[in-house]
Structures are given as structure tokens and as C-alpha cells.
Structure 1
């Protein structure tokens, strides 16, 4: 994080430090977004609580969530989120080339029509939120998404528009580890 000082670990509240330690143990490294968001502990708590709700209480598959994040982040030119969530997309979709395809142009990516419609919606919500209307929701329903799933798609897109802007504000850089994750078919 180049524009704001990353707090020292020992200066963090216990619960924030514990959450960072849990993620470090799980991932094998500390994703930079955790250290950056700790700049404001109350914001850290709210950010990660909502993130967790989006990925745990959803009708979407984890690979679908990551597709949305990568498409929105690519549209927003957010390097951190494209790289970090691109790694997660490669892992959850078991597709080592998919992240770059989705980040660059989801309409030419190796995805099915339902996922293309899902990403069309997420990008429209990103670029032209006032233009989203009932017909957009109905189109997703035609592809088998329930209204709850449509809500989930919109929520993920909206949250990562926020996340992208925070990452850009703070100039959070991707961890080197993210670049190689999910590239090997055995991972």
C-alpha cells in the first residue's frame, strides 16, 4: 500500500490480528489486502464480514463468484483484484487460462452462455448502474438464475466495485504468490 501507512502488526486490535493470522495460515502468505484494510480496523471488520457473507451465503458457485470479481475488476482496471481473484478463479474453475480471458473480455472467454449473461449483467451494473432494469433480471432468470442468485450477482459486483476503488486509492499491489497460483493443473 503506497498511499497510506500499513499498521504494524503489534499495533492492531486482537481480533484483526487474529483474522490476518488465520488467513496467513490458510493461504501460506498474507494477502496484501488484509494488511492494507487494517489501516482502519472498523472498516476491516465490516469489509471482511460482508465479503464472507457474499461467498458463504449465496446461490452461486465459488467459481461464478470469482468470474464476477475478475470481470468487474478487469473493467475497473484494478490490478490487485484481477491478479488475486484471477488466481482464485483459476483454482475454483480448474481452468488455468480463464482468468485472463474474463479480465480482458468475458464475451470471448471460454464460458457458457449463462455465465456470459451473468458477466454481462455484472459489467452493466459496473458501467451503467442506472440503466439496469427488470429486463436484465428477467434475462438472467431465462438462463436459470433465481432472483436470489441475481441479487447475489449484483451484490458481488457492487462490493467489488467498492473493493476495486479502495485498492486503487491505496495502491495495493498484488502479492507475488498470486501470479502463479492455479497455473498448474495439479493445484
Structure 2
């Protein structure tokens, strides 16, 4: 049970927020409960949506890699809500169900490139405990990504540091669509349990 109920569109008095929700409906098929809850403070939700756009959808790092990095960071932190959302977005950005399900075996699975392994390694470490990220991790990243791209990867991890804490603290209720994608992609998924 969520600690705060997500707001419906007719409860939000800001046209710009409701219009942005239409974008979420078109791209994801639903509006995340997390931002519906944030909508009680329009400046917070608008700033968050702008940051989310800049981090995940702008720049030169392949979007599939950003989604997998965000998924890995959420797996490391244990946030089931964000894990499901990022399994869904990874699927939208063409990661196969097999690749999503193999994320825990990214170091040995043939489904992942060396560039993906470098990015996911950093995400797992930073998602668990940020100071676990080492110079060696950044040296590996530098083989595949320029400095601007490394900033994008770290920004993806950091964005989910915020979201993992938001959603776990608020006990945000998972929507049906990302729950279905996660069940399909990750055998044995149970809401509230670690994979």
C-alpha cells in the first residue's frame, strides 16, 4: 500500500504536467505512479521530468545501454518498482527478454558486449555503494566511451539513486504494465522479492 496516493489527472492543476503525462502514456502505455505522487509539488515533478529527459533520452550513449545501466543500478539497490520500470524501458529500447533476464550474468553472458559490461559493472557498484566505483572501472569505461558519455552513464546511475529511494520510501505501487513485462522477462519475479 503506497504511503501517498498517486494523483489523477483531474486533481492536478498544472496543464503542463498533464500534457507531459500524455507523452508518458504514448511512450510507455501508462503514467508512472511515482510522478503522479510527485505532482503534489509541481516544481519538483517538472524538474524531475526535465532531468529524466536529459539523462535518459539525450546524449550519445545508446539508449539500450542507458536503460540496462539504470536497471542494473536498481537491481543493486533492491528497488523493485524501478527494476520493473527499467525492465519495461529496456524492452521498449530493444533489449531482448533474454538479455534483461541475464543481467545478473552480464559478466559472462554472450548477450552483453564489453562496452555494456564496463557500464553495468559501474552501475552495479555505484548502485550498491557509490564509493565502490574505482579508477579501474573508469579506465575500462574509457576504452568504449568518451568523457561526455561517461557523464551520461554516471548520470543514469545517479538518477536511479534518487528514484530508488523515492519509490522504496513512498512504497510506490507498481503499475500492471511494467509488472507484466518483468514477469515475462524475468522468470520468478515476485513483487516485493529480490530476483
- TM (norm. structure 1) is 0.85
Q: Quick one: structure 1 residues 124 and 28, their matched pair in 2 at CA, closer, same or farther if it must change by over 3 Å? A: closer
In the TM superposition, residue 181 of structure 1 has moved relative to its aligned partner by: 4.1
Does residue 170 (structure 1) correspond to residue 157 (structure 2)? The answer is no
Deviations for 1:35-60, whole angstroms, at most 9, x for unmatched residues? 12213221111111000001232221
Q: Tell me how far apart the structure 2 counterparts of residues 133 and 99 of structure 1 sit (CA, whole Å).
A: 25
Q: How does 1:99-118 map to 2 (within 5 A)?
A: 99-102=100-103, 104-109=104-109, 110-118=111-119
Does residue 3 (structure 1) correspond to residue 18 (structure 2)? The answer is no
Contact 1:32/1:173, CA 8 A, preserved across alignment: yes
Match of 1:152 in 2: 152
In the TM superposition, residue 28 of structure 1 has moved relative to its aligned partner by: 3.2
Contact 1:6/1:36, CA 8 A, preserved across alignment: yes
In the TM superposition, residue 99 of structure 1 has moved relative to its aligned partner by: 1.9
Q: How does 1:37-76 map to 2 (within 5 A)?
A: 37-76=38-77
What SS is found at the alignment partner of 1:107?
coil
Name structure 1 gaps, 5 residues minimum: none
What SS is found at the alignment partner of 1:20?
helix
Q: Tell me how far apart the structure 2 counterparts of residues 59 and 140 of structure 1 sit (CA, whole Å).
A: 14
In the TM superposition, residue 133 of structure 1 has moved relative to its aligned partner by: 4.5
Contact 1:80/1:174, CA 8 A, preserved across alignment: yes
Q: Quick one: structure 1 residues 154 and 8, their matched pair in 2 at CA, closer, same or farther if it must change by over 3 Å? A: same
| Larger displacement relative to structure 2 (69-78 or 33-42) | 33-42
Contact 1:73/1:160, CA 8 A, preserved across alignment: yes
Q: Tell me how far apart the structure 2 counterparts of residues 141 and 122 of structure 1 sit (CA, whole Å).
A: 15
Q: Tell me how far apart the structure 2 counterparts of residues 157 and 176 of structure 1 sit (CA, whole Å).
A: 25
Q: Tell me how far apart the structure 1 counterparts of residues 33 and 60 of structure 2 sit (CA, whole Å).
A: 28
Q: Tell me how far apart the structure 1 counterparts of residues 123 and 167 of structure 2 sit (CA, whole Å).
A: 19
In the TM superposition, residue 105 of structure 1 has moved relative to its aligned partner by: 4.6
Deviations for 1:139-180, whole angstroms, at most 9, x for unmatched residues? 2112x2111111111111011111111011111122111234
Q: Tell me how far apart the structure 1 counterparts of residues 87 and 161 of structure 2 sit (CA, whole Å).
A: 16
Match of 2:20 in 1: 19
Q: Tell me how far apart the structure 2 counterparts of residues 127 and 30 of structure 1 sit (CA, whole Å).
A: 28
